[in-house]
Every structure is written in structure tokens, then in C-alpha cells.
Amino acid sequence: MNRVFSHIKRLFRKFWFYIIFMFAISGYIGLLNLIIMIVISLLFFRDPIEPVNMEEVRQEFTETELSIINGETMNEDVTDEEYFRLLARFQHFICPKRIDAVTIWNGSEVTNDAYIYKYELDDHGVWYNKRFVEGLKGQVLSEIDTKCVQAQRLIRSNRYLIYRYYYRHSDGCTDIVITPKDLQEYKQ
């Protein structure tokens, strides 16, 4: 039922003028149009991004863990390894699964030398060349706050930040790799 209401809200945001006009002309025709549009929306449009359930987050994490993740200063009582494992678990709850029409976030992974954001792309056979990926790397790097705790921990632990995009319709994947050196050189 929540799915139906989210589609109704989205329809009113996109087609409010049309729906109000149809109601003004005739209540029955307007109501019939609304029902048809809801059915079309349910069948053909992707689900809107679900809001974060903060109650679920509060049940899963202690106040100390939340302060470690959301803190603006580095908590030295927590190792970099513990921090990144906690961050990956936390992002599972707060990050949207569907980023846009072609991108789905599949979680984060912590390795000995990297923190990896994993995405799935509905690529339809598109392969990204090295030049395109380098352009994306510049864009991603410009969006990162290099003074934040996560970036500082990446630099300190000498870990790469990797955005890994898997292609849904093929076996390929593309990595956007940001090195600790990139983070150090790109001071904001």
C-alpha cells in the first residue's frame, strides 16, 4: 500500500496541473484518469527512493557508534579498520539503493588497501573508455571533502577509495580509483 501512495504522490508532483484540470472538467473522468495513471506508474516507473528509517538506524547502532561515524573530529580510540567496517555497515542503512534510473548502489566493502563503493549499472552494452573514467575521477574528487574524517583516515591508512561499477548486461566493470596521494594533492 505504501508503494501505491508513493506513486500517487509522485504523480501529483509531476502532473498536478493535468489532474486538477481533469477534476475541474468532470469528477468522474478526472478520477478515472488518476486511476489509469496510477496503474501505469506502478507498471512502468521505477520505485521512488525510500526514505531512511531512522528508528531502524537507532536500533542497530549505539550512540557511541553514531558519534564515531558522524563526528567531525577523528576518534583515536577507534582504529581505521574498525572505523571503515562501521562506516560500511552504517551506509547500508542510510544510502539509497537506487541512485538514478540506471544506477543501483550495492553496498560498501572494506579491504586491506581500499574502501570500495559498489554500484550496478544498467549499461546496455556501454563500455567506458579510460578518458571518460578519468573525467569522472576529476568530478568525483571535486565532490569529496578532503578535510572530513573519512578522507583523513583514508590518507592515514594509505587506502584507496574505489567506486566500482558493475555492468548488469555484461561481465565487465569499471573502477574509479582515488589514491591517498590524490586526496592529499586535492586540498579544498
Within 8 A by CB and 6+ apart from 48, the residues are 6, 7, 10
Domain 54-185 adopts which CATH fold?
Answer: GMP Synthetase; Chain A, domain 3 (3.30.300)
SS3 category, 112: coil
pTM of the model: 0.67
> pLDDT per residue over 87-111, tens digit each?
888 888 777 676 666 777 888 999 9
In terms of Cα–Cα distance, which of 41, 57, 56, 52 is closest to 3?
41
What Å distances lie between residue 124 and 40, 72, 166, CA to CA?
24, 41, 12
CB count, 10 Å around CB of 36?
Answer: 10
- For 134: left if phi > 0, alpha if psi spans -120 to 50, otherwise beta; the answer is alpha
- For 146, the grid coordinates are 578532503
Query: Which pLDDT belongs to residue 162?
Result: 92
Q: What's the pLDDT at 125?
A: 47
Low-confidence ranges of the chain (pLDDT < 70): 1-53, 96, 98-101, 123-133, 187-188
In the chain, domain spans: 2-44, 54-185
